[in-house]
Structure 1
Amino acid sequence: MAKILIITGRLAEPIIRKVLTETKTEHDVEVLVTPFQVAALLTTEYVAQYLKQHVIKDYDYILLPGLTRGSGRVVEEVIGVKTVKGTVNAYDLVDVLRLNDLSILSPDIPADEVLGNIIIERDKKILKYIEDSLTDENSINIGKLRVPLTPPPIRVATEISETHLLDDEKLIKEALRYVENGTDIIVLGFEALQSHPDKVYKAVKTLKKEFNTPVAVDSFIPSEINSAIEAGADMVINIDLTNIDKVKVVEKEVAVVTIPRDPTTSTIPKDLNTRVELLEKSVSTIRSKGFEKVFADAILEPFGYLFPSLLTYYIFKQRNPQIPLLAGIGNVVELVDVDSIGVNASLVMLAQEVGISIVLTVEKSVKAQGSTLEVKIASQMATLAQYKKSPPKNLGISLLVLKDKKRYDVEFEKEYDIVEVSEKVRPYVLDPLGIFKIRVNRELNCIEALYVGRKGRVLIRGRDAETIQSKILELELISQLSHAMYLGKELTKAEIALQLGKNYVQEVPLFIRPKYIKF
């Protein structure tokens, strides 16, 4: 148990006392309120001088507000008590007060960041332990990548659609983007009904030269499959009972993904048992041809048919625990008008429960962009949750983007005049110095503000609203306060749109609250 003195401002005092009342802490805690209204305005020099006026003794720690400017060492040198920074928000002090040992906190960095870093370091050790536990007995190598027979971890494969339409520069750029976002396998997709064996060969060779990441080809056309294997592809997706006899190039080190396509009808059967039996027959046949690394894909159906198809994977895995599974989740994401982040997370969690080792995603449509990163984070969350035998919550990483786990209330001073604002907006008067056109440039991943006015035409580029606003002020391109407020609003909208992958249209709301149909 430690004796702690919490330093705060007047506005945060009620919050801190509420936290102390509701938190069962083993520490002896006292609160000292400074004359400042807002604790974030405190400096360590001020706190040191203020504490000199009080009798400070027998404390083990002085806990400063997380946003206090300066180092806690300044206070410690003057007062002689170890001084560390607490959380940015007073509500989060509960996390600090639950610590047995406050010596892990920093005099310079807010406690939120310190605790977050500790959790992330623990997560890294867990993820590395899981990786190191993969052996020849419980995993298959795809190139240099070990893929478990049964997760965790789940591997992420990302497909580049219509590869035959991309030149080398665009192909490498696209692949690099996916690798940087965490994909484990780059998958090349081509035209469904038209054969491009030469382009398959060239694309595989190009990526194998540029990346250490395994390269796969998704095609059921035999000539493309043969070219992919000849070029050194690490995996081929879509060899089945309808085309296996036409695959002339066999390489035992190449991984193969097979599906339950019926050779008599060239369709995927709806009956679960028939689908499982066809998949087992397909795996057996492909192995008999000389391929040793065979994955099974029972075909994941969109919502409306999702559960039966998931059940097919589960039944197959129960009957064939040594055969790893792959599931393409892209169709499920594409065929539902819901933000991809929630759909991807849910599908990855289900995939781990079922025993699926690789999930294949695709970012072809606008609403699916960003799926690689979402799936990667979800796969790590699933791994950590399974290791800790807990729900995928409070793991140190999350996919909470549009919502938060906690609600923070901001306290105001008690005395103020209230001015109610009507919904009517006065007509906007154009700035005589000029106007700005704002857009998000997806190609360059930046915000662009085009000035047109008395000082000519100036295009300002940046990745956040603040830097662009600062440059506009520096160049003196506005002359009205109302124009400055307008630009602040629109540039912030553009920054959020850039971060979330949403469309940005000047003067159009970024979000529209969904409504249900009343009847």
Structure 2
Amino acid sequence: MKVLVVTGTLAAPILSEVAKNIKDTKVEIKVLNYPVASLMSTKFIAENLKQTKFDADYILLPGLVYGDAKIVEEVTGVRTFKGTEEAWDLPRVIEALKNGIQLSTTESADKIIGKMDNIEEKLRKMEEEAKISFEINGIKITTYPPPFRIFLEIDNKQEFEKLDRIRKNVDVVVLGFPVGHYDLDEVKNKVKQLVDYGYVVGIDAESPRELKEGVRAGASFVFNLNENNFEELEEIRKEAAFVVAPFNTENRGEITIDLVKKAKQKGFDKLIADPVLSPPLRGLVSSIIGYKYVRETLQDIPILMGILNVTELIDADSIGMNALLTAIAGELGISNLLIMEKGKTRWSSWEVSQATKMISVALKENRLPKDIGIDLLVLKDKRRFRESFNADVIVNRRIEPEMDNTGFAKIFVSEDGFGVEWIGKNKITIKGKDGLSIGRELIRRVKDISKEHAVYIGYELAKAEIAYQLDKNYIQDKPLFKKIINDNLHTEHDKKRG
């Protein structure tokens, strides 16, 4: 198969790189004298191709070009379709053509391929086909993944009104009370409040009386059934599901297995085993081996892994760890994950939700969790691309600003947006969620801001927008991230080129 790919000057290097890795198809790149491919029209492309004959089976246009690709087909005599919006996705379009997928002359190939690669549809089918161990309060607990269930642990000081952002990412909210806590009224009221907010609730407490009070108030899951409270919790054995986790820190796998067997004999019929994941450098690897042993021994019992024990206890970004721990859980046959959102693990609910979808598809299709159609690549790209320019001026020193006497700007990030407070002859505060628009609004309202000051404000607004989108702290004039690139190496490289 021979395919001609039309593009502009900016995307041409990317497409050339991508085309090198496409096998069994001859790909020719036709670069038109236009920088941004997506800003072309099909009429413009047709005009530029009409005098040329092409030895191709198909012509692919940029996915975002304006107009109907039939115009190009009419002047070239070659079947023409719109490709994807991203140059890196060219292999997916080639594969679709090989498989006889009918692409469109009016819509980007993303919409057509998306129908083939519909993640949500795949996940829906997994839910339908899943082996269910038990169901409680609408939550179906599977013996093995996929699918997964996500439990979010919160403490009794949590403001429940602020939980809305996690609602679609978790299945159960586990209300935890500290060791030594004993207030049955608080347990009852807070469990009822969470239930009234529409959450399926779990309760985690040291006191058996508090656990029982929580169940009677509406909690569906009990954390934990152990060797110390086993007998006291027998009276509610039919009223909730129980996470079985040992109190003893030694031989946790064996104790978990014995507790599960004993609980089944006593009539506890909704059980989830948890031999407890240890923190990094405190037995993490051994505990993972323990999970494998429990999984092999209790083949008909669902298992839960508290991945919060790792993400909370290492100072590293949680997103990659959550992805890896979810993959480990999937490989071990663990279908329930306990997480926490606090400080550096904020947004773990979204991260684990994405990770479970990715791992679910990979498990179901027996493939690596790569190129699935869903990922957790937030700060890094799969493929690195840089443009090469010969600079007329290279700046290797800090240029101090010229002060603007018309006023000064305070850039801020809040819970519901970010913006700028201008203090000068005119005082105005502008807030929104698009830094470019905020900056333009300021310039149009305060017309005497100096050019240098405008550049600075735009720079800080861009940082504020990134901080807002990533839920990071923002401090004006301070860097958002730690540096990875060694600037000294770049300086030496630039000197050699000069």
Instruction: Tell me, in whole angstroms, the C-alpha distance in 2 between the residues paired with 1:312 and 1:17.
Output: 49
Residue 102 of structure 1 deviates from its aligned partner by 7.2
Q: Displacement of 1:301 after TM fit?
A: 0.5
* 1:91/1:515 CA distance change after superposition, 3 Å: closer
1:109 Cα deviation after fit = 4.3
TM-score (norm 1): 0.84
Whether the 8 Å contact between 1:297 and 1:325 is mirrored in structure 2 is yes
Counterpart in the other structure of 1:512? 482
- 2-structure distance, mates of 1:330, 1:418: 51
The question of whether the paired residues in 2 share the 8 Å contact of 1:48 and 1:74 is answered with yes
Letter in 2 for 1:269: T
The yes-or-no answer on 1:187 pairing with 2:189 is no
Q: Does the Cα contact within 8 Å between 1:434 and 1:478 map onto a contact in 2?
A: no
1:130: which partner in 2? 126
Structure 1 residues 187 and 15 mapped into 2: Cα distance closer, same or farther (>3 Å)?
closer
Matches within 5 A, 1:12-411: 16=15, 20=19, 23-26=22-25, 32-52=30-50, 54=51, 61-72=58-69, 75=72, 83-88=80-85, 90=87, 92-99=89-96, 100=98, 104-111=102-109, 113-114=110-111, 117-118=114-115, 120-121=117-118, 123-135=119-131, 138-161=132-155, 163=156, 165-166=157-158, 170-174=159-163, 176-180=164-168, 182-211=169-198, 213-247=199-233, 249-261=235-247, 268-270=248-250, 274-304=251-281, 305-364=283-342, 366-410=343-387
Aligned residue in 2 for 1:433: 406
Could you tell me whether the CA contact under 8 Å between 1:447 and 1:498 is conserved in 2? yes
CA-CA distance at 1:338 after TM superposition: 1.2
Kept in 2: contact 1:142–1:234 (CA 8 A): yes
- 1:252 CA drift (Å): 1.0
- Change over 3 Å in CA distance of 1:301–1:18 after alignment to 2: closer
Q: Check conservation: 2:179, 2:205, Cα contact below 8 A.
A: yes
- Percent identical among aligned pairs is 36
CA distance in 1, matches of 2:285, 2:20: 47
Q: Deviations over 1:25-77 (max 9, x none)?
A: 446x655443335534423332233345x256897644223343444355567
Deviation at 1:110?
A: 4.0
CA shift, 1:345, in A, is 1.1
What number of residue pairs does the alignment pair up? 484
Work out which of the residue numbers 406, 418, 423 in structure 2 matches 1:452: 423
Q: After TM superposition, give the deviation of residue 116 of structure 1 in Å.
A: 6.0
The Cα of 1:125 is off from its aligned counterpart by 3.0
Deviation string for 1:465-518 (max 9, x for gaps)?
A: 1232232233236622212211221111112112222221111111113699xx
> Which residue identity is paired with 1:278?
I
Match of 2:492 in 1: none
Query: What is residue 264 of structure 1 aligned with on the other side?
Result: none
Question: What is the aligned partner in structure 2 of residue 265 from structure 1?
Answer: none
Q: Counterpart of 2:419 in 1: which secondary structure?
A: strand
User: What CA distance in whole angstroms lies between the structure 2 residues aligned with 1:248 and 1:320?
Assistant: 21
Could you tell me how far apart the structure 1 residues matched to 2:18 and 2:483 are?
33
Q: CA deviation at 1:193?
A: 1.4
CA distance in 2, matches of 1:102, 1:423: 56
Aligned partners of 2:243 and 2:273 also within 8 Å: yes
Specify the SS of the correspondent of 1:373: helix
Partners in 2 of 1:399 and 1:344 — Cα distance? 10
Change in Cα spacing, 1:92 to 1:233, as seen in structure 2 (3 Å) is closer
Per-residue Cα deviation, 1:93-117 (whole angstroms, up to 9, x for no partner): 3443343157643444444x33662
Give the aligned residue type for 1:500: L
Q: 1:224–1:79: structure 2 CA closer, same or farther, 3 Å change rule? A: same
Q: Distance in 2 between matches of 1:500 and 1:348?
A: 22
Q: Which runs of 5+ in 1 are unaligned?
A: 262-267
SS of match in other structure, 1:437: strand
Give the match's secondary structure for 1:244: coil
Structure 2 letter corresponding to 1:472: L
Shift of 1:15: 5.8
Is the CA contact 2:426–2:446 (under 8 Å) kept in the aligned structure 1? Answer: no
Q: What is the SS of the residue equivalent to 2:372?
A: coil
User: CA 1:455 to 1:119, structure 2 compared with 1: closer, same or farther past 3 Å?
Assistant: farther
Contact 1:119-1:395 within 8 A present in 2 as well: no
- Unpaired segments ≥5 residues, structure 2: 487-498
User: Residue 238 and residue 12 in structure 1: after superposition, are their counterparts in 2 closer, same or farther (change >3 A)?
Assistant: closer
2:398 equivalent among 424, 434, 440 = 424
Once the 2 structures are TM-superposed, how far is the Cα of residue 395 of structure 1 from its aligned partner? 0.4
